[in-house]
Structure 1
Amino acid sequence: MKIGFIGGGKMAQALARGLISSGRYKAENIIASSPKVDNKLLEEIRKLGVATTHDNVEVANNSEVVFIAVKPLQVSKVVSEIAPIFRRDKLLVSIAMGITMRYMETLLPSKSRVVRVMPNTPAVVGAGASAYSLGAGCLDTDSGLVHDLLSTVGFAVEVPEVLIDPVTGLSGSGPSYMFNAIEGLADGGVKMGLSRELSIKLAAYTLYGAAKMILETGDHPAVLKEAVQSPGGTSAYGMHELEKGGFRGLLINAVEAASNRSKSTGDLVLPRQSMENMIYEDDHHEEFTSKRVAIAGRR
C-alpha cells in the first residue's frame, strides 16, 4: 500500500516511523510533502527512508491513503489543491483539529472517502491514543484499514464524529496535563530532599505504572486508588490535600475547556452553516456509523 503525508511535522513523522517499524508498511511506499520554507521537516522525515517533495498533488497522485497533517487554517487550501485528482480509490485521513468531515467532503468529489482522526503526541514513542471517525463515503473495509494504520503507534478506536472534540480534550490534550502532574510530583520530591533527576524519573515511572495497572487489570481507577490507601496512611493524607485543592474537578474542567476550544477552532475556520443543517448532519452521521462503532468496540 502506498501512503502519503501532506505535512511533515512531528505527528506525521511519528506515524511514518510507526508504520515502517511495524514491518507491515515499507518506507519506499511512503511519501511526504512540506512547503519549501519547511525543508528541515522534510530532512527529518527523509531519514526514515521515505520519499519527499514540495508538491502536495504529487503526494495525492502517488498514494492510496493520504494523511492531511497540516494546521487547521491550511486544510481548505490543501484539500482544494488535491481535489481535482482525488478519486474514490483514495482515502483521505485528516488529523487536523476541529475540521469536520462534512466540510472536507464539500471540497472533494462526491462520495469521496474521508476519515477524521485525533491522535496524541505519545505516538512519537509508540504509546499513542487515537480516535477516528469515518465519513459517509467510506467503504466497510476502511475502518479496519485505519485501525491497522493507527495501531502501529499505539491504541486506536473508532467513535462517532460528535465525540472527536471530547477526545481532543481528553487524550489529545491529556499528555500536557500529565506532564504537568509529573513536574508537580517531581517538585514535591525536590522540596523533600530528592534530586531533580531522580524525582522526575520516579514521578514518570509512577504515572506509567499506574496507567499500566489500569490497562492490564481492568479494574476501575477508584478500586486501585482505594487499594493504595491504608487507614491513616500516607496516601490518605496526600489524597486529602489533592481533594482540598479540587484536583479531580480541575482535570474535569481542563477536559471540558480543551473540548470546547477544539470545537470553537473548527467553527472559526469553517464556513457558517445553519443550526438545522448541523443537527441533521450530525444525527445522520452518528446513525450511519453506529454499526461500525459497535464492531470497533469489540476490538
Structure 2
Amino acid sequence: MKVGFIGTGSMGSVLLDAFITSGALLPEQIFASNRTADKVNLLAQRHPGLNVCSNNIETVSNSDIIFLCVKPLQYKVVIDEIKDKLNQDQILVSITSPVQIRHLEEALICKIAKVIPSITHLTFSGDSLCMYGTRITPKDRLLIEQLLGSISKPTEIDESYVRISSDFSSCGPAFISFFLEQWVNAAVEITGINREEITALAGEMLLGTGKLLTEGGFKPLDLQERVAVPGGITAKALSLLKQSLDGVFHQLIATTYGKYDEDLQKCDILFGDPKA
C-alpha cells in the first residue's frame, strides 16, 4: 500500500510522523507534497526514504490512499488540480471538518472518506473521527481503520456531529492544556513552586484521570463525588469553579460552531453548492 500526503503542515505531519513511528508505514510507502517544499524536505530528513514529490499530481499518481491535509479554503484549488488524475479505486481522505463529503463526491470520481485526527496520535492515543462516503466499501473501511488503529482509536461518527465531536477529540487537547497552563501559572506565582515540577504533576494527573474515565468505569460526576468530600477543600474549590465557569462552555461551543458555519458557507460557495 502506498499512501500520499498533500499538505504536511501541523496535522499532516502529525499523521505522517505517527504512522512511521508506529511502524504502520515505512517511509518508502509514503509520497508527500506541500506548497512549501522545505516542510516536506525536513520530514524526509527525519524519515530517510520518504518520497518527496515536486507537486500534488505526482503524489496522487503514486498513491492508493491520499490524505488531503490543507486548509478548508484551499481545497477547491487542490481538487481542481488533481481531479483528472484520480481513479475510481483510489481513496481520498479529507481531514478538515467544514469540507463536506458531498462536496468531494460531487467533484471527484474516487472514493471519499473523512477523518478528523488529533495531536494525541503522536502518543498512539486519542480518537480519530471517521466518516465515509457512499463509494466506500466494507473492505475500504477496514483498510482505513486498520491504518488509523495503529495510532489511535478509530471511531465512526455521523458527519452532522463532526463539529462538536472535534471540539473534544481534536480541539480538546488545546482547551485542557490552556486550563492547566493557567492553573500552573497561578501555582508558580502564589507559591514559588518549580514550574517543571508542577507541570509534570499536572500531566500525570491528567493521564490518570483519562484512564479512570476510559478504563476505570468512572463518569465525570463520579470522580467529583469520589474526590470532593462534603465540606472539604476540593468541594469548596469545585463550588468556586461552578460559579466562575457558569455559561463558559456554552459560549465555547457557540464560538466553535460559529466559525464552523462561517467556513461551511464559504466551502459551499467554492464548490458551487446551490444551497449556498
TM-score after normalising by structure 1 = 0.84
Distance in 1, matches of 2:133 and 2:83, equals 16
Distance in 2, matches of 1:43 and 1:205, equals 35
Distance in 2, matches of 1:258 and 1:56, equals 30
Which of 129, 132, 142 is equivalent to 2:130? Answer: 132
Number of residue pairs aligned between Structure 1 and Structure 2: 271
Check conservation: 1:229, 1:236, Cα contact below 8 A.
Answer: yes
Check conservation: 2:24, 2:150, Cα contact below 8 A.
Answer: no
Check conservation: 2:94, 2:113, Cα contact below 8 A.
Answer: yes
Which runs of no fewer than 5 residues in structure 1 stay unpaired?
Answer: 279-299
Tell me the alpha carbon deviations over residues 74-128 of structure 1, each in whole angstroms, 9 at most, x when there is no partner: 111112211112111100001123101111112212xx31011111222233334
1:195 matched to 2:194: yes
1:13 maps to amino acid: S
Distance in 1, matches of 2:118 and 2:151, equals 10
Distance in 1, matches of 2:157 and 2:140, equals 14
Indicate the residue corresponding to 2:39 in structure 1. 41
1:99 matched to 2:99: yes
1:34 maps to amino acid: N
Tell me the alpha carbon deviations over residues 174-229 of structure 1, each in whole angstroms, 9 at most, x when there is no partner: 11211111112212321233222222222222222211211111221111221001
Indicate the residue corresponding to 1:147 in structure 2. 145
2:211 maps to amino acid: K
Indicate the residue corresponding to 2:214 in structure 1. 215
Indicate the residue corresponding to 1:122 in structure 2. 120
Deviation of residue 20 (structure 1)? 2.0
Indicate the residue corresponding to 1:243 in structure 2. 242
1:16 matched to 2:16: yes
Distance in 2, matches of 1:189 and 1:89, equals 56
RMSD after superposition: 1.9
Indicate the residue corresponding to 2:88 in structure 1. 88
Indicate the residue corresponding to 1:71 in structure 2. 71
Check conservation: 1:11, 1:124, Cα contact below 8 A.
Answer: no
Percent identical pairs in the alignment equals 27
Find the residue that maps to 1:4 and give its secondary structure.
strand
Which runs of no fewer than 5 residues in structure 2 stay unpaired?
Answer: none
Quick check: 139-148 or 94-103, which moved more? 139-148
Tell me the alpha carbon deviations over residues 209-251 of structure 1, each in whole angstroms, 9 at most, x when there is no partner: 211211111221111221001122111011011011025x423
Indicate the residue corresponding to 2:231 in structure 1. 232
Tell me the alpha carbon deviations over residues 52-74 of structure 1, each in whole angstroms, 9 at most, x when there is no partner: 11211111111000000111111
For residues 51-62 of structure 1, the aligned pairs below 5 Å read 51-62=51-62
Distance in 2, matches of 1:160 and 1:85, equals 29
Check conservation: 1:91, 1:114, Cα contact below 8 A.
Answer: yes
Deviation of residue 274 (structure 1)? 4.9
Check conservation: 2:73, 2:266, Cα contact below 8 A.
Answer: no
Deviation of residue 15 (structure 1)? 1.3
Indicate the residue corresponding to 1:7 in structure 2. 7
Distance in 2, matches of 1:70 and 1:175, equals 21
